[in-house]
């Protein structure tokens, strides 16, 4: 019997064991879904503390409640380790490690390369290796497959390699692993077949594409689409400011068109691991082919300038009150990159805080989901206790993240000056002077 058929049989009979490398916001939900589908799953992470927490049955990811995780751990279906040797008998491995950008905006592939090199040492015939980490087009074929081939494996015959981009949206209560369609692209048809069969067990809809490079490009299109359109409406906000027009009124009126228009909304900048980062993978790759991704570069320029625009709005608002930024007490409401999560990766709030502190402001923040943040210079800043007094003591309140926890009428009633980057206070009246972007 061929290695492909043996693996397909083991998947169908739930005899296959699955390894997930990286137990973060992508890897842990995937591990849980495979475990719920009846597989034995081993999660690997380099951080011992996370492994210990998982093996105790506790969850540190908001999207995975402990009540869902603990029964899987207690049943022995899901466990965690820091040792790649524990994956030596695994049938399929999904790589869910970070792929950050360096300061030069080129991809840092060190986590992926380290994982693949470790996998190559324990790989065996009949194993499936799937990369889920977002990366530049060509990564799977250029970095993953060759390292396994060097060990004497023939990709598509005795080992199988594919790319299947993660589509996790932290905090989304509607679309999660199970009901979010999964794109898969294998190096060969056999690779695609076994990958699709595996993911069919944990995901309702699998979308096969012709190659890993196509699948990699799919992911980048999804996030570039958002980055470019957000860049467009952010520039619209800048233009409307110059023209004395309400950008939000413009967008809301345009959104009444039932065809040919999809509303996006301006904000203080982009945050999260995906949208501010992923388009640069594509831009970097195209530069190696002597091509400039002009939309990506322009959108990035606009989006990364938005925190400066917000800081300038704060300065202008204080100036209208005959106050300078230096010495003013500024309260930032919300530092997570999006509502109702605790994730501050690439959050524009960090840039806004840094800019205002550099101008001499006394900046404090409140976020019901984020107890502390690390500033660029390494200093830790703790969240304040929310109260009417906290609002009243601030010379300016800057709304960065529109968490559902906030009572916006209470904010308006107790603030002097509000810079509202999320258009959440417009329907409320009070004594506060409100500046929007």
Active site residues: 274
Residue 158 DSSP code: T
Contact status, residue 340 vs residue 404, Cβ threshold 8 Å: yes
In the numeric block, the tokens 């500046």 are attached to 435
3-class secondary structure per residue, 312-324: HHHHHHHHHCCCC
Q: Do residues 401 and 336 touch, judged by C-beta distance below 8 A?
A: yes
Helices 294-320 and 212-243, axial angle in degrees (round to 10): 30
Give the three-state DSSP class for 417.
strand
Q: Among candidates 55, 57, 68, 56, which has minimal Cα distance to 29?
A: 68
**Residue 184, strand partner residues:** 208
CA–CA distances in Å: residue 378 to residues 297, 330, 344, 363, 373: 29, 20, 15, 16, 9
**Contact predicate 265/402, CB 8 Å:** no
| 324 touches 356 (CB < 8 A) | no
Of 310, 318, 351, the C-alpha closest to 436 is 310
Handedness of CA 355, 361, 366, 370 (dihedral sign): positive
């Amino acid at each position: 019997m061929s290695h492909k058929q043996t693996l397909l049989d083991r998947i169908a009979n739930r005899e296959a064991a699955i390894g997930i490398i990286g137990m973060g916001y992508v890897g842990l939900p995937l591990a849980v879904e495979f475990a719920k589908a009846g597989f034995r799953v081993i999660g690997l992470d380099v951080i011992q503390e996370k492994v210990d927490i998982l093996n105790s049955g506790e969850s540190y990811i908001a999207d995975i409640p402990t009540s869902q995780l603990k029964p899987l751990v207690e049943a022995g279906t899901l466990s965690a380790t820091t040792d790649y040797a524990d994956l030596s008998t695994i049938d399929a491995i999904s790589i869910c490690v970070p792929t950050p950008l360096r300061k030069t905006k080129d991809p840092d592939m060190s986590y992926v390369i380290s994982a693949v090199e470790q996998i190559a040492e324990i790989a065996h015939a009949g194993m499936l290796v799937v990369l889920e980490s977002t990366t530049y087009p060509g990564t799977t074929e250029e970095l993953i497959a060759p390292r396994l081939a060097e060990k004497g494996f023939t990709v598509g015959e005795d080992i199988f390699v594919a790319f299947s981009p993660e589509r996790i949206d932290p905090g989304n209560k509607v679309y999660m692993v199970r009901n979010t369609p999964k794109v898969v692209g294998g190096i060969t048809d056999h690779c695609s077949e076994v990958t699709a069969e595996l993911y069919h067990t944990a995901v309702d809809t699998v979308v096969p594409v012709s190659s890993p490079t196509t699948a990699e490009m799919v992911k980048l299109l999804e996030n570039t689409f958002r980055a470019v359109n957000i860049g467009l409406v952010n520039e619209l906000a800048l233009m409307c400011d110059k023209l004395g027009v309400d950008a939000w009124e413009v967008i809301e009126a345009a959104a009444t068109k039932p065809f040919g228009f999809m509303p996006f909304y301006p904000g203080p900048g982009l945050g999260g691991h995906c949208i501010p980062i992923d388009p640069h993978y594509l831009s970097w790759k195209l530069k190696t082919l002597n091509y400039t991704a002009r939309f990506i570069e322009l959108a990035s320029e606009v989006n990364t300038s938005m925190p400066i625009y917000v800081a300038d709005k704060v300065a202008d608002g204080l100036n209208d009150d005959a106050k300078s930024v230096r010495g003013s007490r500024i309260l930032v409401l919300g530092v997570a990159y999006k509502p109702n999560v605790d994730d501050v990766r690439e959050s524009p709030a960090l840039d806004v805080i840094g800019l205002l502190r550099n101008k001499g402001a006394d900046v404090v923040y409140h976020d019901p989901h984020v107890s502390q943040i690390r500033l660029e210079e390494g200093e830790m800043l703790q969240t304040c206790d929310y109260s009417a007094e906290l609002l009243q003591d601030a010379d300016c309140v800057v709304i960065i993240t529109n968490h559902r926890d906030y009572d916006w009428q209470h904010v308006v009633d107790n603030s002097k000056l509000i810079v509202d980057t999320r258009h959440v206070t417009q329907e409320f009246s009070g004594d506060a002077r409100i500046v929007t972007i």
